[in-house]
Chain A
């Protein structure tokens, strides 16, 4: 079965119109010539537009605004909710392995499926989903470069129909715990006991301790500032005005300017760990550095008792 699927994938890559007879039943599938799946971590809007009917591509939207996917989405895309599907709903953690397997099985993801993630807000939560997919070792996960914003700006098609795909039986074979940093990892860096470099991707005002959280977002930490030794590179430094990631050379320059050049392992963090996934994606998937995302981020660190904190602005919690 797997050999046949591999063969099918090959045919899809090279073939003109081909018909493949699957084992066990007379399932006839006709595919058009599709440009090969790009080898990098990103796919362009053009490529996706040409591959909307590619049965080996599963498009998944992970947006932060409720109702966005339901009103319109890329045709054929499925919807994963970041707070209900990809997070544990009781404890603060990513979705459990069992629930992740269930979710991917319902989405009909198989081992040879290319998953393309996209979302609103510059792919913040889509990148975070990409990190969760990588933690659970999903083979072929790509991000739609520019996300929803670019797709819409290019006036590409959207629809509001919910697709149904045949359920698969997805199994997680290994969990990459080395993509995730914990509070103790962050403290070790702050205390000089670890070689890792911290990249704080929040705004300059959050980094300096002037504010506890961006405007319109609840102040969930009771200390302001940043983890000592961290460098501040706001996430937006990694993108072009159209929302696409900067080129690898440009990204290298941006991070090298603050001493992050991949020679040492990196830990990214933000407020709740989602924007930092965006930078994690740039550093790890595009530049190939060794990067862990600290998903506890400032809402864990800034509430932890007895850990070292840098607060240049000197803002005092609760003081009027």
Chain B
């Protein structure tokens, strides 16, 4: 057992022990739940390299299909799970009664712009916000700058919010697909789209599977070693993320990773005088970036802390934690990409986890619109980047 592996085991034990301490606090069962889910989420993402941007880039550049299929799997699992949960919350879906606090947002050109900015931010900074959080725990050089950039982008988002709200968002339709198609119709329509996409990806994949097939470990010890040293199959990441996405909503507000950062940016921006103290209509719109929070100790913050620590356990355990000094280029790339990520996540009311994953899973049209815009920006961005690099 290497030193970093021992650290990983120690950290994992400490992390799990702290869930008992959390459970004694007020609303402790939810806090402890969020913390453990965060740990699992971080470990899963780190070990399977689940990342909206990287998977899409690998597809665009190398026709590597497994990552993209994992994203589609995550969405399918999320949709199926949400249908079960929301089906019990709102038995007869109608547009007048949206399920409470689910991320179903307004659909307007602002959302398209948000998706495009977010996608561009991913290309420039190297990943989406959730992946920057877990890469922070791997010693990534650009991620700290990307997260600082995201906070600045959030402030820019808040600063532009009142104008965008009165121009477009206030009148924008909030479309919950089950309210129009029924639960059955919505699940069929969404599964149909995912199935078509998966079939298209499958048919155009680069056929290298045979070369990469590995035999299963023979002993328990070998299996344990493989668990830490080998990358988990992409589909495990997709399945796990989809499961976490809908399991979370049973106990707390939907999965999202921008609420805490958004809160800090809002308070900071208000103190600096760049963010107006009244943000029109914001706190009543449902989205990850808008959850009003006043403490560091809330379920969403704990998911985030858990994500970073869980990823650190994964990074140390696999020896993938590497620290090196960032270059000016890393800093510039992280900051500019981060600003775009932050602005997009704020005016789009969430990121690739909150608005896209939790939104699409819930049957929100806003999730699809944000997702398509983001995808478009990533595809164009990656191709441009390839051309520029020669």
Chain A positions within 8 Å of B, measured between CB atoms, are 66-67, 70-71, 84, 160-162, 216
A71 with B91: in contact, given A66-B101, A84-B97 (CB under 8 Å)? Answer: no
Contact B253 A162 (CB under 8 A): no
The count of residues in chain B whose C-beta lies closer than 8 Å to any C-beta of chain A is 13
How long is the Cα–Cα vector from A220 to B252 in the complex, in angstroms?
A: 30
Q: Chain A: which residue is nearest B98 at the CB level?
A: A66
Interface majority SS (helix, strand, loop, mixed), chain B: loop
Given contacts A66-B101, A84-B97, A216-B294, contact A71 B88 (CB under 8 A): no
A contact residues around B91 at 8 Å (CB): 162
Q: Report the 4 A-B pairs with minimum CB-CB distance, sorted nearest first.
A: A66-B100, A67-B101, A67-B100, A70-B89
How many Å lie between the Cα of A265 and that of B88 in the bound state? 46
A sample of 7 inter-chain contacts (CB < 8 A) reads: A70-B89, A70-B99, A71-B251, A71-B252, A84-B97, A160-B88, A216-B292
CB of A165, distance to nearest CB on chain B (Å): 13
Q: Smallest CB-CB separation from A215: which chain B residue? A: B294
| Among candidates A67, A84, A161, A216, residue contacting B88 with C-beta atoms closer than 8 Å | A161
User: Within the complex, what minimum Cβ distance (angstroms) separates B28 from chain A?
Assistant: 11
Contacts of B292 on A, CB cut-off 8 Å? 216
* Dominant secondary structure of chain A at its interface with chain B: loop
Nearest-neighbour CB distance to chain B for A210, whole angstroms, equals: 19
Write out the residue numbers on chain B whose beta carbons fall within 8 Å of the beta carbon of A216: 292, 294
- In whole angstroms, how far apart are the Cα atoms of A67 and B291 in the complex? 13
* A162 near B100: Cβ-Cβ < 8 Å: no
- In the bound complex, what is the Cα–Cα distance between A67 and B248 (angstroms)? 13
CA distance A71 to B88 in the complex (A): 10
Q: For the complex, is B250 an interface residue (Cβ under 8 Å from A)?
A: yes
Q: Nearest Cβ distance between residue B290 and chain A, in whole angstroms? A: 13
Partner of A162, one of B89, B250, B251, B294: B89
In Å, the complex CA distance between A66 and B283 comes to 13
B250's partner among A66, A84, A160 (CB-CB below 8 A) is A160
Q: Are A70 and B100 in contact (CB under 8 A)?
A: yes
Nearest CB on A from B5, distance (A): 38
Instruction: Give Cα A67–Cα B252 distance, bound, in whole angstroms.
Output: 8
Chain A residues near B250: list those with CB within 8 A: 71, 160
Q: Which residues between 71 and 108 of chain B lie within 8 Å of chain A, taking CB atoms?
A: 88-89, 91, 97, 99-101
